[in-house]
Structure 1
Amino acid sequence: MPDHHSYQDPFYGWTTPKAISLCLHKLKECSSSLPVEAIKKLILMSEAKILNEQTSTSSLEFLTKLSKKYSISIEHLIVIFNGFVHVLRLALKPPAAFLKPEIFKDDLRDLKFSEAIIEEFHNILFGPKRDQLYNVAQERDRPRLSFLQTFDWNLDVTLTTASLSRCIEPLLFFQFRTTDNRNLTFEVPIKKFNELRYNTALLLKEMEEVDGKQALKLLET
């Protein structure tokens, strides 16, 4: 069976992220003093971090307790915890159907994670909260554009007088206010505004025609 790396990139990319490299380094340093059960708790806490679940104690308080219990630097534990969160976030970026369990395990083995850690990550990403985790991650990472909050317009007309030799063309003033508190203002002559209306209507008509042709092709097949 061919190596999946020959046709699919690792979930973390071709370069190991710095957060994960530091996490692996600190895990190696603490291997003799940090038991597997404590590491599993850190991974479970990273899952709660992704889901934004409210826990009885904050992440920092929990890390402080582990630091005192096992006589490990709090800085080391923060680096390890941050690396675990990073692994989950990267694994949740592709669509749920794209990352297969065995491929995910192989990628973690390439990173030199222990089998106990790999199994714990596997249980989280492919366990009962799988859909919830992916939905939370996709909602957080999707592009967010500002929305139109208010729209005002005004017509400015200058009437001819005895001192003017010609009639000044009316102007339309538009002002938009977006949800990110930006104010956008522009002006356009009536003639140009009518051109915009015409071209918009023409574009919509052409889109309807293309859509209709596509529907006919689907019916033929």
Structure 2
Amino acid sequence: MNLNDLSKTVITSSSECSKECRNILLKVALSINQFPNQDRVKVIDKISSDHNIPKHKVLELLGIYLAIVQLFVESSDKEFNARLIELGFSNEFVADLPLVSNRSKVVETILNARRGEFCKLVSLKWRIDISLTHSVLSKKIPTSVILCLQLKNGRKYTINVNIRTFHKLRYNVALILKEVANLKLNQQVNK
């Protein structure tokens, strides 16, 4: 679900849930990010019955919270709060979200859950996305590098990176490979 596509009525209705219900939905959204393959039908049914919300509405709200968590991971605290308020969420709703105060724990938990996936890399392909149109347009549309990762479990990820970030990544990978080679050399010398 894309937060930009939400209507004001959907945003308002998501803010009207009780604080307890919002916290439960947020916990479920966080657990989906940690363990995406788990079955949560019983949890959704329980939320629906406990809070007297139709099941389709619970699923819609859960989609909103998943998008909020995604936005949180991708942005800084200021950007996150400003973006939610810009979309129409109330200041109270944004202030009640416990994400910002627990940023490092939330991000670390999500990343730790996904680290195992990236240990199973099958292929990594990259290409440069260059705009060959008018010079005025090329200044507004910067050149970027597109990385395509394929994992053993069949999942594919596409990451769009600007040139500066790509060079930092390339430099740091080369530095790590050099350090690993030096460690191997030192181990052979010490034997």
Q: TM-score scaled by structure 2?
A: 0.49
Q: TM-score scaled by structure 1?
A: 0.44
Larger proportion of helix: 2
Structure 1 or 2, whichever has the larger Rg, is: 1
